Amino acid sequence: MKLTARSVSLVPIVSTVAAAALGASLIMAGNANAATTLGAAAQQSGRYFGTAVAAGRMGDSTYMGILNREFDMVTAENEMKMDATEPSQGRFTYGNADRIVNHARSRGMRVRGHALAWHSQQPGWMQNMSGSALRNAMLNHVTQVATYYRGKIYAWDVVNEAFADGSSGARRDSNLQRTGNDWIEAAFRAARAADPGAKLCYNDYNTDDWSHAKTQAVYRMVQDFKARGVPIDCVGLQSHFNAQSPVPSNYQTTLQNFANLGVDVQITELDIEGSGSAQASNYDRVTRACLAVSRCTGITVWGIRDSDSWRAYGTPLLFDNNGNKKPAYTSVLNALNAGGPGPTTTTTTTTTTTTSNGPGPGDCTASVSLNQWNEGFVATIKVTAGSSALKGWRVTTTLSNGTVTNSWSANRSGTSGTVNWTNVDYNANVPAGQSTEFGFQGTGSGSGLNPTCSAS
Protein backbone atom coordinates (compact mmCIF):
# COMPACT_ATOMS: atom_id res chain seq x y z
CA MET A 1 0.00 0.00 0.00
CA LYS A 2 0.90 3.62 -0.26
CA LEU A 3 0.71 5.81 2.79
CA THR A 4 0.00 9.28 1.50
CA ALA A 5 -0.30 11.73 3.70
CA ARG A 6 -10.60 -10.68 35.16
CA SER A 7 -10.73 -8.97 37.19
CA VAL A 8 -11.13 -5.48 36.30
CA SER A 9 -11.64 -4.39 39.86
CA LEU A 10 -8.01 -5.08 40.60
CA VAL A 11 -6.84 -2.42 38.25
CA PRO A 12 -8.54 0.92 37.92
CA ILE A 13 -7.20 2.22 41.21
CA VAL A 14 -5.86 5.05 39.11
CA SER A 15 -8.47 6.98 37.21
CA THR A 16 -7.96 7.88 33.58
CA VAL A 17 -7.48 11.52 34.41
CA ALA A 18 -5.04 10.78 37.17
CA ALA A 19 -3.19 8.32 34.98
CA ALA A 20 -2.72 10.99 32.36
CA ALA A 21 -1.34 13.35 34.94
CA LEU A 22 0.99 10.95 36.70
CA GLY A 23 4.32 9.67 35.52
CA ALA A 24 4.50 6.11 34.28
CA SER A 25 6.64 4.87 37.14
CA LEU A 26 4.31 6.34 39.71
CA ILE A 27 1.36 4.50 38.21
CA MET A 28 3.20 1.24 38.23
CA ALA A 29 4.41 1.77 41.78
CA GLY A 30 0.89 2.65 42.90
CA ASN A 31 -0.71 -0.39 41.34
CA ALA A 32 0.75 -3.59 42.63
CA ASN A 33 -1.72 -5.63 40.59
CA ALA A 34 -0.83 -4.09 37.24
CA ALA A 35 -0.33 -6.63 34.50
CA THR A 36 3.22 -6.87 33.16
CA THR A 37 2.59 -7.91 29.56
CA LEU A 38 0.53 -6.32 26.80
CA GLY A 39 -1.79 -9.30 26.36
CA ALA A 40 -2.48 -9.68 30.08
CA ALA A 41 -3.01 -5.96 30.46
CA ALA A 42 -5.49 -5.88 27.57
CA GLN A 43 -7.34 -8.90 28.93
CA GLN A 44 -8.22 -6.98 32.08
CA SER A 45 -10.85 -5.11 30.07
CA GLY A 46 -11.75 -8.11 27.89
CA ARG A 47 -9.61 -6.93 24.99
CA TYR A 48 -6.69 -8.48 23.14
CA PHE A 49 -3.27 -7.19 22.15
CA GLY A 50 -1.85 -8.67 18.98
CA THR A 51 0.99 -8.44 16.53
CA ALA A 52 1.73 -9.29 12.93
CA VAL A 53 3.96 -12.35 12.64
CA ALA A 54 6.19 -13.30 9.71
CA ALA A 55 6.80 -17.03 9.25
CA GLY A 56 10.35 -16.26 8.15
CA ARG A 57 11.21 -14.90 11.59
CA MET A 58 9.90 -17.84 13.58
CA GLY A 59 13.43 -19.25 13.95
CA ASP A 60 14.57 -16.08 15.75
CA SER A 61 14.56 -16.79 19.48
CA THR A 62 14.44 -13.14 20.55
CA TYR A 63 11.46 -12.56 18.29
CA MET A 64 9.67 -15.70 19.47
CA GLY A 65 10.42 -14.91 23.10
CA ILE A 66 8.72 -11.53 22.84
CA LEU A 67 5.83 -12.95 20.82
CA ASN A 68 5.13 -15.67 23.34
CA ARG A 69 5.50 -13.40 26.34
CA GLU A 70 3.56 -10.32 25.24
CA PHE A 71 0.82 -11.06 22.73
CA ASP A 72 -2.49 -12.92 22.73
CA MET A 73 -3.59 -12.32 19.11
CA VAL A 74 -1.66 -12.96 15.92
CA THR A 75 -2.01 -11.81 12.31
CA ALA A 76 0.03 -13.43 9.54
CA GLU A 77 1.88 -10.50 7.97
CA ASN A 78 1.83 -11.93 4.43
CA GLU A 79 1.20 -15.68 4.66
CA MET A 80 -2.61 -15.74 4.39
CA LYS A 81 -2.84 -13.33 1.47
CA MET A 82 -4.19 -14.48 -1.88
CA ASP A 83 -0.80 -14.91 -3.55
CA ALA A 84 0.44 -17.05 -0.66
CA THR A 85 -2.58 -19.32 -0.30
CA GLU A 86 -3.57 -19.85 -3.97
CA PRO A 87 -0.35 -19.47 -6.00
CA SER A 88 -1.88 -21.20 -8.99
CA GLN A 89 -5.59 -21.36 -9.61
CA GLY A 90 -7.27 -24.07 -7.61
CA ARG A 91 -4.03 -25.14 -5.86
CA PHE A 92 -4.06 -23.98 -2.27
CA THR A 93 -0.94 -23.85 -0.11
CA TYR A 94 -1.11 -23.25 3.61
CA GLY A 95 2.35 -24.24 4.84
CA ASN A 96 3.58 -20.92 6.18
CA ALA A 97 0.12 -19.79 7.24
CA ASP A 98 -0.31 -23.03 9.19
CA ARG A 99 3.00 -22.54 10.97
CA ILE A 100 1.74 -19.23 12.28
CA VAL A 101 -1.80 -20.39 13.05
CA ASN A 102 -0.65 -23.59 14.74
CA HIS A 103 1.94 -21.79 16.83
CA ALA A 104 -0.60 -19.20 17.94
CA ARG A 105 -3.28 -21.73 18.79
CA SER A 106 -0.85 -24.00 20.62
CA ARG A 107 0.01 -21.07 22.89
CA GLY A 108 -3.59 -20.00 23.42
CA MET A 109 -3.32 -16.96 21.19
CA ARG A 110 -6.15 -16.15 18.80
CA VAL A 111 -5.74 -15.38 15.11
CA ARG A 112 -6.94 -12.57 12.86
CA GLY A 113 -7.12 -13.78 9.26
CA HIS A 114 -5.61 -11.34 6.77
CA ALA A 115 -6.88 -11.07 4.04
CA LEU A 116 -9.40 -12.95 1.88
CA ALA A 117 -9.93 -10.47 -0.97
CA TRP A 118 -7.69 -7.56 -1.90
CA HIS A 119 -6.63 -5.72 -5.05
CA SER A 120 -2.99 -6.15 -4.00
CA GLN A 121 -0.83 -9.23 -3.53
CA GLN A 122 -2.99 -11.20 -5.92
CA PRO A 123 -1.35 -14.22 -7.53
CA GLY A 124 -0.27 -13.62 -11.13
CA TRP A 125 -3.05 -15.75 -12.59
CA MET A 126 -5.67 -13.61 -10.88
CA GLN A 127 -4.14 -10.26 -11.82
CA ASN A 128 -4.95 -10.94 -15.45
CA MET A 129 -8.54 -12.04 -14.90
CA SER A 130 -11.72 -10.01 -15.26
CA GLY A 131 -15.49 -10.25 -15.32
CA SER A 132 -17.39 -13.26 -14.07
CA ALA A 133 -14.32 -15.51 -14.24
CA LEU A 134 -12.56 -13.22 -11.76
CA ARG A 135 -15.67 -12.85 -9.59
CA ASN A 136 -16.03 -16.61 -9.38
CA ALA A 137 -12.33 -17.11 -8.73
CA MET A 138 -12.44 -14.56 -5.93
CA LEU A 139 -15.52 -16.14 -4.35
CA ASN A 140 -13.97 -19.58 -4.64
CA HIS A 141 -10.82 -18.28 -2.95
CA VAL A 142 -12.83 -16.77 -0.10
CA THR A 143 -14.83 -19.96 0.31
CA GLN A 144 -11.85 -22.32 0.16
CA VAL A 145 -9.58 -20.41 2.52
CA ALA A 146 -12.29 -19.56 5.04
CA THR A 147 -13.48 -23.18 4.96
CA TYR A 148 -9.95 -24.51 5.46
CA TYR A 149 -9.55 -22.37 8.58
CA ARG A 150 -13.17 -22.70 9.71
CA GLY A 151 -13.39 -22.47 13.48
CA LYS A 152 -9.79 -21.31 13.92
CA ILE A 153 -10.03 -17.61 13.09
CA TYR A 154 -11.30 -14.96 15.49
CA ALA A 155 -11.86 -12.38 12.76
CA TRP A 156 -11.25 -12.28 9.02
CA ASP A 157 -10.28 -9.21 7.06
CA VAL A 158 -12.70 -10.31 4.35
CA VAL A 159 -11.98 -7.33 2.12
CA ASN A 160 -8.95 -5.10 2.44
CA GLU A 161 -8.36 -1.55 1.17
CA ALA A 162 -11.23 -1.25 -1.30
CA PHE A 163 -11.65 2.53 -1.14
CA ALA A 164 -9.69 5.21 -2.96
CA ASP A 165 -7.50 7.75 -1.18
CA GLY A 166 -8.20 11.45 -1.55
CA SER A 167 -11.44 13.35 -1.57
CA SER A 168 -13.55 11.32 -3.99
CA GLY A 169 -15.08 8.91 -1.47
CA ALA A 170 -15.14 6.42 -4.34
CA ARG A 171 -14.22 2.80 -4.48
CA ARG A 172 -10.64 2.11 -5.51
CA ASP A 173 -10.40 1.07 -9.13
CA SER A 174 -9.21 -2.53 -9.36
CA ASN A 175 -9.92 -5.67 -11.32
CA LEU A 176 -12.17 -6.81 -8.46
CA GLN A 177 -14.09 -3.52 -8.42
CA ARG A 178 -14.61 -3.81 -12.17
CA THR A 179 -16.49 -7.10 -11.62
CA GLY A 180 -19.31 -5.00 -10.13
CA ASN A 181 -19.90 -2.84 -7.08
CA ASP A 182 -21.40 -5.76 -5.20
CA TRP A 183 -18.10 -7.68 -5.09
CA ILE A 184 -17.53 -6.70 -1.45
CA GLU A 185 -20.86 -7.91 -0.16
CA ALA A 186 -20.54 -11.06 -2.24
CA ALA A 187 -17.21 -11.74 -0.53
CA PHE A 188 -18.75 -11.20 2.91
CA ARG A 189 -21.61 -13.56 2.16
CA ALA A 190 -19.25 -16.24 0.94
CA ALA A 191 -17.10 -15.83 4.05
CA ARG A 192 -20.10 -16.10 6.38
CA ALA A 193 -21.26 -19.24 4.63
CA ALA A 194 -17.80 -20.80 4.89
CA ASP A 195 -17.03 -19.88 8.51
CA PRO A 196 -20.16 -18.71 10.33
CA GLY A 197 -18.32 -18.40 13.65
CA ALA A 198 -15.67 -15.91 12.56
CA LYS A 199 -16.16 -12.18 12.86
CA LEU A 200 -16.09 -10.64 9.41
CA CYS A 201 -14.26 -7.32 9.06
CA TYR A 202 -13.74 -4.67 6.44
CA ASN A 203 -10.15 -3.38 6.85
CA ASP A 204 -8.55 -0.20 5.48
CA TYR A 205 -5.95 2.54 6.05
CA ASN A 206 -6.39 6.32 6.10
CA THR A 207 -9.78 5.78 7.67
CA ASP A 208 -8.77 7.17 11.07
CA ASP A 209 -9.77 10.82 10.61
CA TRP A 210 -13.53 11.18 10.88
CA SER A 211 -13.58 14.14 8.51
CA HIS A 212 -11.81 12.36 5.64
CA ALA A 213 -13.87 11.44 2.60
CA LYS A 214 -12.46 7.91 2.68
CA THR A 215 -13.57 7.40 6.29
CA GLN A 216 -17.02 8.68 5.45
CA ALA A 217 -17.27 6.42 2.44
CA VAL A 218 -16.37 3.31 4.43
CA TYR A 219 -18.84 4.39 7.11
CA ARG A 220 -21.64 4.66 4.55
CA MET A 221 -20.82 1.23 3.15
CA VAL A 222 -20.95 -0.37 6.60
CA GLN A 223 -24.19 1.49 7.36
CA ASP A 224 -25.67 0.22 4.11
CA PHE A 225 -24.49 -3.35 4.81
CA LYS A 226 -26.08 -3.31 8.24
CA ALA A 227 -29.32 -1.91 6.82
CA ARG A 228 -29.53 -4.59 4.13
CA GLY A 229 -28.40 -7.53 6.24
CA VAL A 230 -25.05 -8.04 4.55
CA PRO A 231 -23.04 -10.00 7.13
CA ILE A 232 -20.42 -7.67 8.58
CA ASP A 233 -19.27 -7.74 12.21
CA CYS A 234 -16.31 -5.43 12.45
CA VAL A 235 -14.30 -2.63 10.92
CA GLY A 236 -10.52 -2.72 11.02
CA LEU A 237 -8.63 0.55 11.15
CA GLN A 238 -5.07 -0.22 10.10
CA SER A 239 -3.76 2.95 11.76
CA HIS A 240 -0.35 3.40 10.15
CA PHE A 241 0.74 6.79 11.46
CA ASN A 242 3.67 9.09 10.69
CA ALA A 243 4.34 12.81 10.35
CA GLN A 244 2.34 13.06 7.13
CA SER A 245 -0.47 10.98 8.55
CA PRO A 246 -0.56 11.70 12.30
CA VAL A 247 -2.95 10.32 14.89
CA PRO A 248 -5.99 12.53 14.23
CA SER A 249 -7.52 14.50 17.08
CA ASN A 250 -10.89 12.92 16.31
CA TYR A 251 -9.60 9.32 16.27
CA GLN A 252 -11.80 8.23 19.20
CA THR A 253 -14.80 9.83 17.49
CA THR A 254 -14.10 7.72 14.41
CA LEU A 255 -13.89 4.54 16.47
CA GLN A 256 -17.08 5.41 18.33
CA ASN A 257 -19.03 6.32 15.20
CA PHE A 258 -18.20 3.03 13.51
CA ALA A 259 -19.06 1.16 16.71
CA ASN A 260 -22.41 2.96 16.81
CA LEU A 261 -23.31 1.24 13.55
CA GLY A 262 -23.42 -2.03 15.49
CA VAL A 263 -20.02 -3.43 14.56
CA ASP A 264 -16.89 -4.13 16.56
CA VAL A 265 -13.94 -1.90 15.88
CA GLN A 266 -10.38 -3.25 15.84
CA ILE A 267 -7.08 -1.44 15.43
CA THR A 268 -5.46 -3.90 13.07
CA GLU A 269 -1.99 -2.77 11.93
CA LEU A 270 -0.89 -0.09 14.36
CA ASP A 271 2.52 1.48 13.92
CA ILE A 272 3.56 5.07 14.63
CA GLU A 273 6.82 6.41 13.29
CA GLY A 274 8.99 8.35 15.72
CA SER A 275 10.89 7.82 18.93
CA GLY A 276 11.06 8.67 22.60
CA SER A 277 8.34 10.48 24.46
CA ALA A 278 6.63 11.90 21.36
CA GLN A 279 6.09 8.41 19.98
CA ALA A 280 5.10 7.14 23.43
CA SER A 281 2.47 9.81 23.78
CA ASN A 282 0.96 8.98 20.39
CA TYR A 283 0.76 5.30 21.33
CA ASP A 284 -0.84 6.32 24.62
CA ARG A 285 -3.51 8.31 22.77
CA VAL A 286 -4.36 5.48 20.42
CA THR A 287 -4.57 2.95 23.25
CA ARG A 288 -6.77 5.23 25.35
CA ALA A 289 -9.04 5.91 22.40
CA CYS A 290 -9.66 2.18 22.01
CA LEU A 291 -10.22 1.71 25.73
CA ALA A 292 -12.76 4.51 25.72
CA VAL A 293 -14.91 2.79 23.08
CA SER A 294 -16.59 -0.28 24.49
CA ARG A 295 -16.79 -2.03 21.11
CA CYS A 296 -13.13 -1.44 20.34
CA THR A 297 -12.18 -5.04 21.08
CA GLY A 298 -8.43 -5.01 20.58
CA ILE A 299 -5.25 -3.60 19.14
CA THR A 300 -2.72 -5.28 16.85
CA VAL A 301 0.69 -3.74 16.16
CA TRP A 302 2.24 -4.40 12.75
CA GLY A 303 5.35 -6.24 13.90
CA ILE A 304 7.41 -6.79 17.03
CA ARG A 305 10.80 -5.00 16.83
CA ASP A 306 11.50 -1.90 14.75
CA SER A 307 13.72 -4.05 12.58
CA ASP A 308 10.75 -6.34 11.82
CA SER A 309 8.68 -3.46 10.46
CA TRP A 310 7.72 -2.93 6.80
CA ARG A 311 9.09 0.58 7.37
CA ALA A 312 11.95 -0.09 9.77
CA TYR A 313 13.47 3.31 8.94
CA GLY A 314 10.64 4.96 10.87
CA THR A 315 11.26 2.90 14.05
CA PRO A 316 7.47 2.64 14.44
CA LEU A 317 7.07 -0.29 16.87
CA LEU A 318 7.18 -1.03 20.60
CA PHE A 319 10.51 -2.90 20.79
CA ASP A 320 13.88 -1.71 19.50
CA ASN A 321 16.09 -3.72 17.15
CA ASN A 322 17.52 -5.64 20.10
CA GLY A 323 14.12 -6.52 21.47
CA ASN A 324 14.25 -4.01 24.30
CA LYS A 325 11.06 -2.28 25.41
CA LYS A 326 10.81 1.30 24.17
CA PRO A 327 9.07 4.19 25.95
CA ALA A 328 6.16 3.52 23.58
CA TYR A 329 5.84 0.03 25.06
CA THR A 330 5.62 1.39 28.60
CA SER A 331 3.01 3.96 27.64
CA VAL A 332 0.81 1.31 26.00
CA LEU A 333 1.18 -1.05 28.97
CA ASN A 334 0.31 1.70 31.42
CA ALA A 335 -2.67 2.83 29.39
CA LEU A 336 -3.97 -0.74 29.25
CA ASN A 337 -3.47 -1.10 32.98
CA ALA A 338 -5.40 2.09 33.56
CA GLY A 339 -8.30 0.22 32.01
CA GLY A 340 -11.54 1.13 30.38
CA PRO A 341 -15.01 -0.29 30.08
CA GLY A 342 -15.05 -3.82 28.77
CA PRO A 343 -16.13 -4.46 25.22
CA THR A 344 -19.76 -5.25 24.56
CA THR A 345 -20.12 -8.72 23.21
CA THR A 346 -22.80 -9.56 20.72
CA THR A 347 -25.22 -12.19 21.89
CA THR A 348 -24.10 -15.13 19.83
CA THR A 349 -25.57 -18.44 20.80
CA THR A 350 -25.27 -21.76 19.11
CA THR A 351 -28.04 -24.27 19.62
CA THR A 352 -28.67 -27.57 17.98
CA THR A 353 -32.05 -29.24 17.71
CA THR A 354 -32.78 -32.40 15.86
CA THR A 355 -36.07 -33.68 14.57
CA SER A 356 -36.51 -37.01 13.04
CA ASN A 357 -38.94 -38.89 10.86
CA GLY A 358 -37.33 -42.21 11.42
CA PRO A 359 -34.76 -42.86 10.48
CA GLY A 360 -35.74 -45.93 8.56
CA PRO A 361 -35.23 -46.90 4.94
CA GLY A 362 -35.75 -43.87 2.76
CA ASP A 363 -35.99 -41.57 5.73
CA CYS A 364 -33.78 -38.74 6.83
CA THR A 365 -33.18 -36.51 9.80
CA ALA A 366 -32.42 -32.78 9.84
CA SER A 367 -30.59 -30.86 12.53
CA VAL A 368 -29.79 -27.18 12.79
CA SER A 369 -26.74 -25.37 14.11
CA LEU A 370 -27.68 -21.75 14.70
CA ASN A 371 -25.33 -18.81 15.03
CA GLN A 372 -27.49 -15.94 16.29
CA TRP A 373 -26.28 -12.39 16.85
CA ASN A 374 -28.16 -9.20 17.71
CA GLU A 375 -29.71 -8.50 14.34
CA GLY A 376 -29.53 -11.76 12.43
CA PHE A 377 -28.38 -15.31 12.17
CA VAL A 378 -26.77 -18.01 10.08
CA ALA A 379 -28.37 -21.45 10.18
CA THR A 380 -26.57 -24.55 8.95
CA ILE A 381 -28.89 -27.50 8.37
CA LYS A 382 -27.48 -31.00 8.33
CA VAL A 383 -29.44 -33.61 6.39
CA THR A 384 -28.61 -37.20 7.35
CA ALA A 385 -29.81 -40.24 5.43
CA GLY A 386 -31.37 -43.13 7.32
CA SER A 387 -30.53 -46.77 6.69
CA SER A 388 -30.83 -46.43 2.93
CA ALA A 389 -29.40 -43.85 0.54
CA LEU A 390 -31.31 -40.69 -0.37
CA LYS A 391 -31.77 -39.78 -4.03
CA GLY A 392 -33.30 -36.43 -3.15
CA TRP A 393 -34.58 -34.69 -0.03
CA ARG A 394 -36.88 -32.01 1.20
CA VAL A 395 -36.58 -30.02 4.44
CA THR A 396 -39.22 -27.80 5.99
CA THR A 397 -38.29 -25.08 8.48
CA THR A 398 -40.33 -22.55 10.46
CA LEU A 399 -39.21 -18.94 10.71
CA SER A 400 -41.64 -17.16 13.04
CA ASN A 401 -39.59 -14.03 13.67
CA GLY A 402 -36.96 -13.96 10.96
CA THR A 403 -36.54 -13.56 7.22
CA VAL A 404 -34.12 -15.40 4.95
CA THR A 405 -31.85 -13.02 3.03
CA ASN A 406 -29.38 -15.42 1.47
CA SER A 407 -29.02 -19.18 1.17
CA TRP A 408 -26.68 -21.77 -0.27
CA SER A 409 -26.59 -25.41 -1.32
CA ALA A 410 -30.39 -25.84 -1.51
CA ASN A 411 -33.41 -24.60 -3.48
CA ARG A 412 -35.76 -22.50 -1.40
CA SER A 413 -39.40 -21.58 -1.49
CA GLY A 414 -40.43 -18.73 0.81
CA THR A 415 -38.42 -16.45 3.06
CA SER A 416 -40.39 -16.51 6.34
CA GLY A 417 -43.03 -18.58 8.04
CA THR A 418 -42.90 -22.08 6.58
CA VAL A 419 -39.88 -22.26 4.30
CA ASN A 420 -39.29 -25.35 2.17
CA TRP A 421 -35.88 -26.49 0.96
CA THR A 422 -34.97 -29.13 -1.60
CA ASN A 423 -31.64 -30.53 -2.69
CA VAL A 424 -29.67 -29.07 -5.56
CA ASP A 425 -28.18 -31.43 -8.15
CA TYR A 426 -24.88 -32.00 -6.46
CA ASN A 427 -26.19 -32.89 -3.01
CA ALA A 428 -29.26 -34.96 -3.95
CA ASN A 429 -27.52 -38.29 -3.37
CA VAL A 430 -26.67 -38.95 0.24
CA PRO A 431 -25.39 -42.46 1.06
CA ALA A 432 -27.02 -44.36 3.94
CA GLY A 433 -26.01 -42.87 7.27
CA GLN A 434 -24.11 -40.00 5.62
CA SER A 435 -24.87 -36.27 5.74
CA THR A 436 -24.90 -33.16 3.61
CA GLU A 437 -25.32 -29.55 4.67
CA PHE A 438 -27.02 -26.46 3.38
CA GLY A 439 -27.41 -23.09 4.99
CA PHE A 440 -29.00 -19.72 5.04
CA GLN A 441 -28.60 -16.34 6.54
CA GLY A 442 -31.38 -14.13 7.78
CA THR A 443 -32.37 -11.04 9.66
CA GLY A 444 -34.23 -11.26 12.95
CA SER A 445 -34.38 -14.46 14.95
CA GLY A 446 -33.57 -17.95 13.72
CA SER A 447 -34.87 -19.68 16.83
CA GLY A 448 -37.57 -22.36 16.54
CA LEU A 449 -36.56 -23.46 13.04
CA ASN A 450 -37.54 -27.04 13.91
CA PRO A 451 -36.43 -28.64 10.61
CA THR A 452 -38.13 -31.79 9.38
CA CYS A 453 -36.74 -33.91 6.58
CA SER A 454 -38.35 -36.28 4.10
CA ALA A 455 -36.98 -38.24 1.18
CA SER A 456 -38.15 -37.20 -2.27
Residue 77 or 185: the one with the smaller Cβ distance to ligand 9MR is 77
3-state secondary structure the chain: CCCCCCCHHHCCCCCHHHHHHCCHHHHHHHCCCCCCCHHHHHHCCCCEEEEEECHHHCCCHHHHHHHHHHCCEEEECCCCCHHHHCCECCECCCHHHHHHHHHHHHCCCEEEEEEEEECCCCCHHHHCCCHHHHHHHHHHHHHHHHHHCCCCCCEEEEEECCECCCCCCCECCCCCHHHCCCHHHHHHHHHHHHCCCCEEEEEECCCCCCCCHHHHHHHHHHHHHHHHCCCCCEEEECCEECCCCCCCCCHHHHHHHHHCCCCEEEEEEEEECCCHHHHHHHHHHHHHHHHCCCCEEEEEECCCEHHHCCCHHHCCCCECCCCCECHHHHHHHHHHHHCCCCCCCCCCEEEEEEEECCCCCCCEEEEEEEEECCCEEEEEEEEEECCCCECCEEEEEEECCEEEEEEECCEEECCCEEEEEECCHHHCCECCCCEEEEEEEEEECCCCCCCEEEEC
Active-site residue flag, 273 = no
* Contact mark string toward ligand 9MR, 113..142, x via CB under 6 A: -------xx---------------------
For the bound state, the minimum distance from the C-beta of residue 348 to ligand 9MR, rounded and expressed in Å, comes to 27
Residue 77 contacts ligand 9MR per CB under 6 A? yes
| Of residues 10 and 312, the one with the C-beta less far from ligand 9MR | 312
Instruction: Name which position in 31, 45, 175, 238 contacts ligand 9MR (CB under 6 A).
Output: 238
Given 269, 273, 375, 437, which residue is catalytic?
269
Q: Tell me whether residue 1 or residue 10 sits nearer to ligand 9MR (CB atom).
A: 1
Question: Is position 165 an interface residue for ligand 9MR (rule: CB under 6 A)?
Answer: no
The minimum distance between CB 57 and ligand 9MR, in angstroms, equals: 11
Residue 1 binds ligand 9MR (CB under 6 A) = yes
Task: Indicate which single residue of 78, 174, 415, 443 sits in contact with ligand 9MR (rule: CB under 6 A).
Answer: 78
In the complex, minimum distance from the CB of residue 364 to ligand 9MR, in angstroms, rounded to a whole number: 45
The amino acid present at 314, given as its one-letter code, is G
Taking the complex as a whole, the smallest distance from the CB of residue 401 to ligand 9MR amounts, in Å, to: 40
Closest to ligand 9MR by CB, 209 or 269 = 269
**Other CB atoms within 10 Å distance of the CB of residue 241:** 27
The contact mask relative to ligand 9MR for 169-208 (x = CB under 6 A, - = no) is ------------------------------------x---
CB of 102 to ligand 9MR, least distance (A): 21
Beta bridge partners, 442, equal 377, 404
Query: 263 to 302, contacts with ligand 9MR by CB under 6 A?
Result: 269
Chain position whose Cβ is nearest to ligand 9MR:
310
Q: Taking CB under 6 A as the rule, does residue 58 contact ligand 9MR?
A: no
From candidates 148, 310, 403, 415, binder to ligand 9MR by CB under 6 A: 310
CB of 1 to ligand 9MR, least distance (A): 4
87 or 417, CB closer to ligand 9MR? 87
Cβ distance to ligand 9MR smaller for residue 1 or 35 = 1
Q: Is 346 in the site for ligand 9MR (CB under 6 A)?
A: no
Active site residues: 269
- Summarize as ranges the residues that interact with ligand 9MR (CB under 6 A): 1, 77-78, 120-121, 205, 238, 269, 310
